[in-house]
Amino acid sequence: MGFAGYKAMISARARAAGVSEGTISSIIPFLSLDMRVVRLDRGQPGGVMPTTTVPPFAPYRRDHVTPSLIARGQTVYATNWTRLWGLQTRTGVDAAMPVAIFGHETSYGVVTGGFDLLDSLATLAYDGRRRALFEGELIAALQLIDRGTPRSRLRGSWAGATGYPQFMPSAVLKLAVDGDGDGRVDIWSSQSDALASIANFFKNAGWKAGVSWGVAARVPATFDRAAVRNNVVAARCTRVFARHSRWLTMREWRALGVVPTGRTLPDDEPASLLEPDGPTAPAYLLTSNYRVILEYNCSNFYALSVGLLADAIARR
């Protein structure tokens, strides 16, 4: 099936999903294949040339928890403090976490991506590697247009993420909220709406109020890692979760000699151990809230750097 045939098929599916004829006729016939998107997608881990090599975390941390991101995040945090505190009170989500996501995803709105979302999503769906995912997002983007979002707004990453929070279209539909009370939801130019929408995402993903994402920890030289190996194969993000230990309470970790090096967690709080750069490098004890960060982007390096950035922004 060529791309013209695919556009006819997606028109039928959009129609079945309730997308208006006006949107279908004004958008779908004019969609274009973007071969740059195809090349970028196939170059990702899990593409046609997968890799089993895990790079070190330390360079990634240096690139994503920078003095500039920390300082600018502290400014955003201070400027929006009243609203952030209100969000934390209502949702339970740590007030620094939406700011850290905002900084990590778009450098506080500086880099939001210049790809046409409709073309990118149609290209990814047609290419077929993850057709079900991207077809659903393409239809969600069409539904956003039906709701009044201008096509010109729908720009972002090559993989279909858009706005300050870099939400996929389905997340915009379900989770984007009005954070400044002006009656509109604008995650493309309103910091308040973006921060509130990220907090809503985290609440929806199961954030546990009053609990840190994790803490740095010291592991004794004689520690038996085989004794805490996690033998459960995760249903999703298998390689990410394979690097985590099994769950133990903080009391149990302390009994094994694994102790926090700064902030701590309650004795009965479950945590898993992650040593991203091996036994001789910094280790982390991670709570269920770390798994919530992984819902945003299922990468240990991403989740660790977001947690560390949030702590630095809040001066913890």
Residue 121 backbone zone (phi > 0: left; psi -120 to 50: alpha; other: beta) = alpha
Report CA-CA distances (Å) from 23 to 11, 26, 30, 141, 240: 10, 5, 11, 10, 39
Digitized pLDDT (tens) for each residue of the chain, 316 residues in all? 799 999 999 999 999 999 999 999 999 999 999 999 999 988 865 444 444 567 899 999 999 999 999 999 999 999 999 999 999 999 999 999 999 999 999 999 999 999 999 999 999 999 978 899 999 999 999 999 999 999 999 999 999 999 999 999 999 999 999 999 999 999 999 999 999 999 999 999 999 999 999 999 999 999 999 999 999 999 889 999 999 999 999 999 999 999 999 899 999 999 999 999 999 899 999 999 999 999 999 999 999 999 999 999 999 9
Q: Using CA atoms, how far apart are residues 164 and 191, in angstroms rounded to an integer?
A: 8
The answer to whether residues 304 and 298 touch, using CB atoms and an 8 Å cutoff, is no
- Using a pLDDT cut of 90, give the percent of the chain over it: 91
**Predicted pLDDT of residue 44:** 64
In terms of pTM, does the model score above 0.85? yes
pLDDT one-digit tens code per residue, 192-225: 999 999 999 999 999 999 999 999 999 999 999 9
Amino acid at 76: V
**Predicted pLDDT of residue 48:** 42
List, in sequence order, every residue forming a beta bridge with 286; answer none if it has no partner. 214, 272
The tokens for 1 are 């099936």
Catalytic residue set = 105
pLDDT one-digit tens code per residue, 36-87: 999 998 886 544 444 456 789 999 999 999 999 999 999 999 999 999 999 9
**Predicted pLDDT of residue 50:** 45
